[in-house]
Structure 1
Amino acid sequence: MQRLCVMGLGYIGLPAAAMLASRGHSVIGCDTDLGVVAAVAAGQAHFREPDLDMLLAAAVTTGRLTAQAVPAPADVFVIAVPTPLGAGNRPDLSCVEAATDAIAPFLAPGNLVILESTCPVGTTEALAGRLAAARPDLCFPSRGGAAPPGCVHLAHCPERVLPGSMLRELVANDRIIGGLTPACAERARALYAGFVTGRCWLTDSRTAELAKLAENAFRDLNIAFANELAGICRGLEVDPWAAIALANRHPRVSILRPGPGVGGHCIAVDPWFLAEAAPDHSPLIRTARAVNEARPGQVVAEIRALAPPGATVACLGLTYKADVEDLRASPALAIAEALSREGTRRVLCCDPMLRALPPPLAGRAGVALVQPEAALAEAVVLAILVPHAAFRALPRAAFAGRLVVDAVGLLQPA
């Protein structure tokens, strides 16, 4: 068993820390948010995820997992911090750089540093260079070369989990492990093999970084095609859901479902990492981003066309996907916010995953968080923005004869 230090206790770092602790490792979880540190130290997750509270409570109770604001000496350091978009859709690596600087004083010969954060190609190499500059007394490998004896090993192992199924996917999914050297990759594989039942695929760090970005760009492109196709259908007075369902009867066709846009921490962000790295070779990626980024505005226009000023609109769903509380880059939230900013309509927000209105809407005049029954009773226009299970369970008769903008196809026949 090893001593690990996990930098970042968010949606990726916290499940990983709890899972590693459950496998007998001694884990120190670090986060700059003192509220997060306090919650984890008390054995409580600061976001909802099935079974995470149980796993976390057990890890804390047994003393296998502790939480603090600063790192400490360890055998393995795992960096799992956010990599959001900055100005001009360029990657903001400030959190990765800060975490790297924080662990530098605690590194020792033979340590392993794993970067789980999704990042532009070349980031793992840059991380090694940053650590080498901070610790000239230590030895760091170069990409593709041999790992010198006693060096600090570095690898990129991108996360591959879905909110709502994190713990299951953390164990069951295949993992890509890209080392600066083959020896680095093998060191990281030995750690992940302790809890991953899927296959661990070894490669170099650059290939691992690109593969992760390719996965999310693939999803973004295919969602954009579905959204563009739905727009074509509406212009031609064709039911997009029926047309897509029939097209998918072809054995080699699998068109995704249209929606109000793309959200979350990956698909709406990661394609830009590729586009910015190779602007002359990524016109398709940029076009897909433009298509999906335009969707919330198009949905707002559809709602406006049905709801005159002074009307009450119900936004059914605010999170970025069904049955999770995650609001990051949520197109549904963007739609509700755009309607509320106009100040000409009453906006009722309904989301079974939320206990209160999020900051962009909280305290804004004319906006309220209500239960589904109130939304159905009071709204002139019903905008279905997220297909939560609670909304799927509503009787279809409640929508009959109503003005409805169904952005997710919830009312379509199965």
Structure 2
Amino acid sequence: MASYADDTTDIDNTQLLADGPYIALLNQTVGDVSETAGQVSALGNTLSVDITNGDTIVSNTQTVETSSGYAESVLNADSASWTAASNATAIANSATITTCCGSIDATSTQTVGPNQSVGANAALHVNDWALNASAAALATGNAIDLQTWFGPSLDGVITQTNEATIMSDAHIEGGIMADSAIVAATAIANTGFAGGEATTTYIFTEQLSHGSKVHARASLDSPDVEDATVATTATGNNFVIENSFGFVQADHWQDNSSQIVATTDVNVGVWNGSNTASSYAVGNTNLTSNIGSDILLDNVQVNAGIGVEATTNFTGGSAGGVGFDQQIVSAAAFGNAVTAFVCPICGGGITANNNQTNSADITATTTVNAGSGNTVVGSATAIGNSATFLTTSGH
């Protein structure tokens, strides 16, 4: 562990949400406007630490016992000539710890108990037409973010346990969607990020996803769309480390028994430009990336339970443009996935001990029903265990 000077900020945070829901609701109706937007957040426990030119030691304990959370943003409009955006975020426990030019020593325990739910719903209804339409929903049990810029060291011991049901829904429906349309639904039981620059990084994680279900759903219904992206991501446990010019040691234990479901539905008439519809479901996943130095990785992932399902459905008429119009439709489902990457031209290497066990059904389904057009590509990928290690010497 690192040693610290007298200017160290020492924080001991304990938060308990014992009873009662945390709910945020927005229902907004307008006629013909240039812009309409809705932003809704429902947070159970939240911690933010931002230190400039100093070290920090943080002990964090966040618990949601019997409180469900729900965020909903519903926008209704006749038309929007510039942009229309509906966003909803629900997180039971969240912690963000950042510093410039200082070290971080963090110990964090986040717990979401059983018999509750965390849900987010973002909906956009347009009667006539809208430019740059979007709907995004994020539902998360536990989330932590550790970042230092040019801090000598980043030490993190992270424990996350989620036993709640996690649900996110994002929808756009109605008239013509011109210029672009984006629909994104993300549901994650446990997630974390650690990042450093010129930093020696030690991260130890234990993530347990034991709720009944983690489900992300997204849909787009329109007679005419242009450059549309509809995507769902459903994840049990996720952790990402991004570091540069400093040694990284990462020890991960990820255990998922929740049913993981990602569902994407697109129903359009005329489709113009480049369009994508995708669903991604994974029980356990982690990524470690380092530039200019080595990675030492110990990874254990166990995925069990009912299964992991990714389903994407596209129903459309014909391409409407005279140029290159395409529709790319995909579904991907993984039990366990680990990736470690060292910069191809900066040197460094990877030492890894990887142990992955999957006993759940892994299913990916893509269905495409389309009329005439330039390009339609469909794909479906189902993998029980995936391990990828990328490193190339710069010499």
TM-score w.r.t. the length of structure 2 is 0.22
Question: Which structure has more strand as a fraction of its residues?
Answer: 2
- Greater Cα radius of gyration, structure 1 or 2: 1
More helix by share: 1
TM-score by length of 1: 0.22
